[in-house]
Amino acid sequence: MLTLEEVKFGATNTFFIGSRLERIFWRVIPKGGFHFGRLNLQQPSKETFADPRGEILALLFKVSGTDVLKVQHDVSLLITAEGGHEYEVSIFPTVGRTFGRNQFLFSLVSAFPRDERLLRVRVRDRKERTHSILGQFVVRNPVPPQSSSGWKTESSPILRRFGDLQLTLGDITAEKRFPVSPGETSTLPIRVLNRQTVETNWLLHSILLRDNLGNFCSSWSFKEVHGEWLRHALSGLLDPKNVWKVEAHLARDADFSPDQLFTFDLTIPFTASISTNHLGVPVTIAFVNTDMLAVEIPTNLTDLRLSFVTARNQSGQEIHDSSGNWNQHRFWRQLRLPSQGGRITATVAIHPDYPFECIVQPRTIR
Q: Which domains does the chain have, with CATH numbers?
A: 2-140 (no CATH), 158-253+354-365 (2.60.40.3340), 258-352 (2.60.40)
The pTM of the full predicted model, rounded to 2 decimals, is: 0.86
Angle at 306 between CA 303 and CA 307, to 5 degrees: 135
Dihedral angle computed from the Cα positions of residues 212, 216, 218 and 222, in that order, rounded to the nearest 10 degrees: -40
Q: Are 216 and 209 in contact (CB under 8 A)?
A: yes
State which amino acid sits at residue 10. G
Mean pLDDT over each residue of the chain, to the nearest integer: 89
182 band by pLDDT with thresholds 50, 70 and 90: low
Over range 218-246, report the average pLDDT.
90
The answer, yes or no, to whether residue 110 has pLDDT greater than 70, is yes
Rounded to whole angstroms, the Cα distance separating 222 from 244 reads 19
Q: What are the tens digits of pLDDT across the range 32-87?
A: 778 777 777 877 778 899 999 999 999 998 888 777 778 778 888 999 999 888 89
Asked if residues 128 and 153 have their Cβ atoms less than 8 Å apart, the reply is no
- Quick one: pLDDT at residue 93? 82
> 341 near 268, Cβ under 8 Å?
yes
Ranges 139-153, 273-287, 341-355: which has the least confidence: 139-153
Buried b (16+ CB within 10 A) or exposed e, 290-310: eebbbbbbeeeeeebbbbbee
Distance in angstroms (rounded) separating the CA atoms of residues 233 and 215: 19
Q: What percent of the chain shows pLDDT beyond 70? A: 94
CA gap 192, 167 in Å, rounded: 5
Residue 213 · residue 115 · CB < 8 Å = yes
Name the amino acid, one letter, at 127: K
For 85, the 3-state DSSP assignment is: coil
Give me the pLDDT at residue 101, please.
60
Q: Check residues 95 and 274 and name the one with the higher pLDDT.
A: 274
pLDDT band at 185 (very low <50, low <70, confident <90, very high): confident
What number of other Cβ atoms are within 10 A of residue 168's Cβ? 16
